[in-house]
Amino acid sequence: MRIAITGLGVTTPVGGDVATSWAALLAGRSGIRALPREWAQDLPVRFAGTLAEEPPLDRVEARRLDRSQQSAMVASREAWADAGSPEVDPLRMGTVIGTGIGGVITLLDAYDVLKERGPSRISPLTVPMLMPNGPAAVVGLAHNAAAGVHAPVSACASGAEAVAVAARMITDGRADVVIAGGTEAPIHPLTMAGFAAMRALSTRNDDPSAASRPYDIDRDGFVMGEGAGALILESEEHARARGARIYAYLIGAGLTADAHHIAQPDPEGRGAARAILAALADGEASAEDVVHVNAHATSTPQGDSAEAVAIRLALGSAQPAVTGTKSMTGHMLGAAGAAESVFTVLALHHRRVPPTANLDHQDPSIDLDVVHGEPRQLPDGECVALNNSFGFGGHDVALAFRSA
């Protein structure tokens, strides 16, 4: 496949838009912060990657949208404007936005109202705000997307799966232009407690900005983050006909499953390796073409090791420049795969790979060339980059991009 990427948008813990976020990543700047003391005092984990900038929406729009929908709107608007706000026949326009959990803050706040004030006080917006297809629906409505609106749900692979589904809408002939993305607004005491109960989160409360440290020997779990990412996917023909700027091409998507465990990755990385190989085969690319991997790299002890094994299994002796941007953004769950697709595309476009923060002592069992300290220059000429995303449930998604 060969799908043009013509617009990019994000809102993340390191920046409210693409330019700010990218500059922060290149500078190795962390967006992980302590949560408000009173809010977090009873929690085992009291820090997270909160949005660098509150969503710039008007009051009425903001109150009708869950925070996950607000972020999706912000990232989509930026991506759409970045693509030149093209005129598209609604029947040829699609939207695919994934989320891991959906409107969990809305749901839990509504439950508080139910307990305190009774069912008659529940807002009529509760259901549209909590449903996991809500972000895709509100963005689809804003752009008259009548070809189809979809919301893949595969935990932390949702954003990447959305990009894959969006690409298929184009290759299947259902749409010419698709807004693809992922979003998450999971920072609530209940979700923090739930992930902490799984022992999935870092507990480095005394040093939040050092907590997310993918591939480091002292990593102790992931750091919760919130945000959204969006990409405008366009058939090459449509993009060329309107003279659009093409950042890069999405050339392949590999979607597999571990069939191993509900939360643990397969330590042998077989499902993830199959996803990488499928993405490369889809794009008629070889392991040697891959110059860069934006890894899933959440900073969990098992996950990072399993991914390193999977990359070796899929790429053999090739040593692309690997980075883990979650070291700075934290893990934006269902937004991660979309935001990191944006970062992967930017790396190809600017020929620069952001460093992995907090990599003080690389785990010796991890046989990867992990970029750290400062950005890495990529070679000139045609080259391929991968973005990996994996989710609880054993979902494996790899996306392959080729430079424009």
**Which of residues 119 and 364 has its CB atom nearest to other proteins in the complex?**
119
CB neighbourhood size of 38 (10 A): 7
Segment contacting other proteins (CB under 8 A): 122-130, 131-139, 181-189, 289-297? 122-130
**Using the rule CB under 8 A, is 125 a contact of other proteins?**
yes
**Using the rule CB under 8 A, is 134 a contact of other proteins?**
no
Paired tokens of 19: 């330019």
**Which of residues 127 and 313 has its CB atom nearest to other proteins in the complex?**
127
CB of 55 to other proteins, least distance (A): 16
**Which of residues 38 and 58 has its CB atom nearest to other proteins in the complex?**
58
Given candidates 90, 111, 121, 261, which one binds other proteins under the rule CB under 8 A? Answer: 121
C-alpha 269: how far from chain center: 20
**Which of residues 37 and 59 has its CB atom nearest to other proteins in the complex?**
59
CB of 150 to other proteins, least distance (A): 23
Burial environment of residue 400 by CB neighbours within 10 A (0 to 12, 13 to 18, 19 or more): buried
Q: What are the angstrom distances between the C-alpha of 79 and each of 11, 114, 120, 127, 400?
A: 11, 38, 40, 27, 20
Question: Which residue, 50, 53, 94, 42, is CA-closest to 230?
Answer: 94
Contact indicator for 249, 404 with CB cutoff of 8 Å:
yes
CB of 343 to other proteins, least distance (A): 35
Q: Helices (DSSP H) in 172-212: which residue ranges?
A: 189-197
Distance CA 103, CA 247 (A): 32
**Which of residues 60 and 259 has its CB atom nearest to other proteins in the complex?**
60
**Using the rule CB under 8 A, is 128 a contact of other proteins?**
yes
CB neighbourhood size of 154 (10 A): 25
Given candidates 60, 259, 380, 381, which one binds other proteins under the rule CB under 8 A? Answer: 60
Contact string (CB under 8 A) for other proteins, positions 291-330, x = contact: ----------------------------------------
Query: Residue 112 is inside which H or E element, if any?
Result: helix 104-117
CB of 124 to other proteins, least distance (A): 4
**Which of residues 38 and 116 has its CB atom nearest to other proteins in the complex?**
116
Number of residues in contact with other proteins under rule CB under 8 A = 9
Distance CA 256, CA 272 (A): 7
**Using the rule CB under 8 A, is 124 a contact of other proteins?**
yes
**What residues are annotated to the active site?**
156, 296, 331
Given candidates 38, 42, 58, 380, which one binds other proteins under the rule CB under 8 A? Answer: 58
CB of 134 to other proteins, least distance (A): 13
Which phi and psi (to 5°) does residue 50 adopt?
Answer: -90, 155
Distance CA 387, CA 213 (A): 18
Distance CA 346, CA 404 (A): 11
CB of 57 to other proteins, least distance (A): 11
- Which residues make up the interface to other proteins (CB under 8 A)? 58-60, 120-121, 123-125, 128
